[in-house]
Structure 1
Amino acid sequence: MVVESIPKAAGFIYGIIAFAALAWLWYSGRFTRRRALPFLAASVFFGFLVFAPVFPYQFQLLVLRDAAALGSPLPMAIVGLLAFIALTLVFGRIVCGQVCPAGAVQELMYLVPVKKRGRAESRVPTAVRAGVFVVFLAAGLGLSVNLLALLGLPAFFNLTVATVSFIVFLGIVLLSAVVYRPFCRYVCPYGALLAPAASKALYRIRRTEACVNCGKCERACPTGAADPSAGAGECYLCGRCTEACPIDGALVYRRANAKNRLPLEE
């Protein structure tokens, strides 16, 4: 379905606009899961229309040094990907949460009303993420192997249905109805870079002194990031914790040094 006549820059322009709008919604306290739905739908649409801004695949092409497939000079691509890492250091994983088509399609699939995998087992060990990232780099830099193509990321959004790779990624998407964002959390190489950035984000969801430790946010969080012992690296800013919180003002998206506000990870 990807329309080759439309420049991929259109997808990145959308990504910048969507990021800015979502950051404003969070900053102003107006973000809700319902308001996120149009962004999720638009991101998936741009994924199928121009296959952009699919950040993990753009990062894959950068590792392969494939400027032709990127559609831009390598230095420009590097600047763009570094810019979104910098934005994640400020605002958290908005890119992963609602802007990246690969993440958005999984987020929408998780809304399917089926039994979910136990949240008590939802955390992904750092060693697993690091190991997958090392394999990704070794395959790309050392062997010039496009692992994300083998996993079917481009085949899925190009709707090349008569391929094994399409079926592989379709399986990942279907799995995301039960397991929250399996591609983002276990495989995505760009997400592996954004997670440590998000863990140090200037703005993120934090508990305030109004928190009564009822635990509802922790039970609602599909990644375990709301647990006091966890960091914010795997917080996708989905809004489930703030939606579940029964106390107005107990969970807020603010800076760490804001008055009367405590870190989420106590």
Structure 2
Amino acid sequence: MVVESIPKAAGFVYGILAFAALAWLWYSGRFTRRRALPFLAASALFGFLVFAPVFPYQFQLLVLRDAAALGSPLPMAIVGLLAFIVLTLVFGRIVCGQVCPAGAVQELMHLVPVAKHGRAESRVPTAVRAGVFVVFLAAGFGLSVNLLGLLGLPAFFNLTVASVSFFVFLAIVLLSAVVYRPFCRYACPYGALLAPAAAKAVFRLQRTDACIGCGKCERACPTGAADPSAGPGECYLCGRCTEACPVDGALIYTRAGREM
């Protein structure tokens, strides 16, 4: 379904504008899950129309040093991907939350009203993420193997239904109806870079003195990031915790370390 006449740069421009709009919604206290839906839909649409900004696959092509498939010089791709890591270091994982098409299709699928598996206690061990990332780098740099291609990420968005890999990623998307973002949390190499950046984000969701300790945010969080003992690295800024919080102002998006 990818439309070749639309430049991939359109996807990256959308990514920048969507990121800025979402960051403003969070900073101004206007973010809601309902307001996030148009961004999720638009991100998924850009994935199918121009296959951008599919950040993990752009990172895959960078590892493979495939400038032709990237559609831009390698230095430009490096700058673009580094820029979003820096933005994540400031504002958190907005890229993963609503901007990246791979994350958007999983987020939308998770809205299907079926029983969910592994809610607030489902944290991904750092060792698992690190191990997958090492395998990804070794396959790309050492063997020139396109692991994300084998997982069907490009085949899915190109609707290459004749390819076996299309059904591999389709299965991952369908699985996300019951397991929250399996690709993002276990297999995404770019997410493995964004998680440490998000853990040190300047702006993040924080509890205030108004918190009554009811635990509703923790039960609503699909990654366990709302647990006070957990870091914000796995927070996708999905808005479930703020939506579940019964006390206005008990959970806010603000500068880390701010007196509250």
Q: Same fold (TM over 0.5)?
A: yes
- Do 2:120 and 2:221's aligned partners in 1 also have CA atoms closer than 8 Å? no
- Aligned counterparts of 1:142 and 1:85: Cα–Cα separation in 2: 24
CA shift, 1:219, in A, is 0.2
Q: Give the structure 2 partner of residue 218 of structure 1.
A: 218
Shift of 1:121: 4.3
Aligned residue number for residue 96 of structure 2: 96
Paired letter, 1:146: N
Measured after TM superposition, the shift of residue 118 of structure 1 is 2.8
- Rounded to whole Å, the distance in 1 between the matches of 2:212 and 2:176 is 32
| Aligned positions, number | 260
Equivalent position SS for 2:205: strand
Write out per-residue CA displacement over residues 151-193 of structure 1, whole angstroms, 9 at most, x where no aligned residue: 0000000000111100000000000000000000000000000
Structure 1 residues 9-53: Cα deviation after superposition (integer angstroms, max 9, x where no partner): 000000000000000000000000000000000000000000000
Specify the alignment match of 2:187 in structure 1.
Answer: 187
TM-fit CA distance, 1:120: 5.0
Is residue 2:244 matched to residue 1:244? yes
Deviation at 1:245, TM superposition (A): 0.3
Alpha-carbon distance, 1:74 to partner: 0.3
Residue 258 of structure 1, CA deviation: 2.3
3-state secondary structure, aligned to 2:38:
helix
Provide TM-score, normalisation by structure 1. 0.97
Correspondence 1:53 to 2:59: no
Rounded Cα–Cα distance in structure 1 between residues aligned with 2:119 and 2:50: 34
Distance 1:256 1:137 in 2: 32
C-alpha change, 1:231 and 1:66, in structure 2 (3 Å) is same
Which letter maps to 2:130?
A
- Following superposition of structure 1 onto structure 2, how do residues 160-179 of structure 1 map, counting pairs within 5 Å? 160-179=160-179
The one-letter code matched in structure 2 to 1:77 is: A
Tell me the residue number matched to 1:256: 256
Name structure 2 gaps, 5 residues minimum: none
Q: What is the distance in 2 between the residues matched to 1:234 and 1:121? A: 12
Counterparts of 1:87-126 in structure 2, within 5 Å, are: 87-126=87-126
Give the counterpart letter for 1:94 in structure 2: I
Return the alpha-carbon distance in structure 2 between the equivalents of residues 38 and 72 of structure 1: 28
Report the Cα distance in structure 2 between the residues aligned to 1:134 and 1:35, rounded to whole angstroms.
36
Q: Which residue number corresponds to residue 264 of structure 1?
A: none
Give the match's secondary structure for 2:232: coil
1:13 matched to which residue of 2? 13
Compare 113-122 and 57-66 and name the one that shifted more. 113-122
Q: 2:65 is matched with which residue? A: 65
Taking the aligned partners of 1:157 and 1:109, their CA distance within structure 2 comes to 15
- Provide Cα deviations, 1:196-227, integer angstroms capped at 9, x if missing partner: 00000000000001111110000000000000
C-alpha distance in 2, partners of 1:145/1:137? 9
- TM-score w.r.t. the length of structure 2 is 0.99
How far the C-alpha of 1:256 sits from its partner, in A, is 1.7
- Counterpart of 1:84 in structure 2 is 84
| Counterpart secondary structure, 1:253 | strand
Contact 2:120 2:222 in 1 (8 A): no
Q: Which runs of 5+ in 1 are unaligned?
A: 261-266
How far apart, CA to CA, are the structure 2 residues paired with 1:234 and 1:147? Answer: 23
Distance 2:35 2:121 in 1: 29
Correspondence for 2:143:
143
How much has 1:229 moved relative to structure 2?
1.0
Instruction: Give the partner amino acid of 2:5.
Output: S
Q: Which runs of 4+ in 1 moved over 3 A?
A: none
CA deviation vs aligned residue, 1:127-154 (integer Å, no higher than 9, x gap): 0000000000000000000000000000
- Aligned-pair RMSD on alpha carbons? 0.6
Q: SS of the residue aligned with 1:138? A: helix
Q: Which residue of 1 aligns with 2:43?
A: 43
